[in-house]
Amino acid sequence: MRALIQRVSEASVTVEGNRIGEIGPGLLVLICAMQGDTTEQADHLAAKIAKLRIFKDDAEKMNLSVRDIGASALVVSQFTLAADTRRGNRPGFSTAAPPAEGEKLYTYFADQLAAQGVAVARGKFGGDMQVRLLNDGPVTIWMDTDDR
């Protein structure tokens, strides 16, 4: 699985003019299931993100996790994280999980992040979403379970 994590002051997702998810301070997690990904990888990624120490402590050092500060996460599916740009100018997405599998892993990942003690808001899998965020820092982290 691939994830792009952004520390945000606020974030929201809107579908067809309706705001379906929003958070204050916390994490925006853009997530993509790749072909062959498993629930074990989703478990690992959810645990890692819940404990990722990218929030400032009293000494202004990035030493606290989203759980430590009681913040939330907005989890948004984004198959374009599977983009292959090695050839030509049009990205290919053939390494992304098929839609049914991707949706299952997206939902499972969001549930596992919530099970880690993080309040989770969600986007709409496969939806045409408008995501608004105020990146804090900016802090943006790339994670890929294939890099373990």
Residues identified as active-site: 80
Q: Do the beta carbons of residue 73 and residue 54 sit within 8 Å?
A: no
Report the phi/psi class of residue 82: left, alpha or beta, with left for phi > 0 and alpha for psi in -120 to 50: alpha
Longest dimension (CA), the chain: 48
User: Can you read off the two tokens belonging to residue 60?
Assistant: 């202004």
Q: Look up residue 109 and give its DSSP letter.
A: H
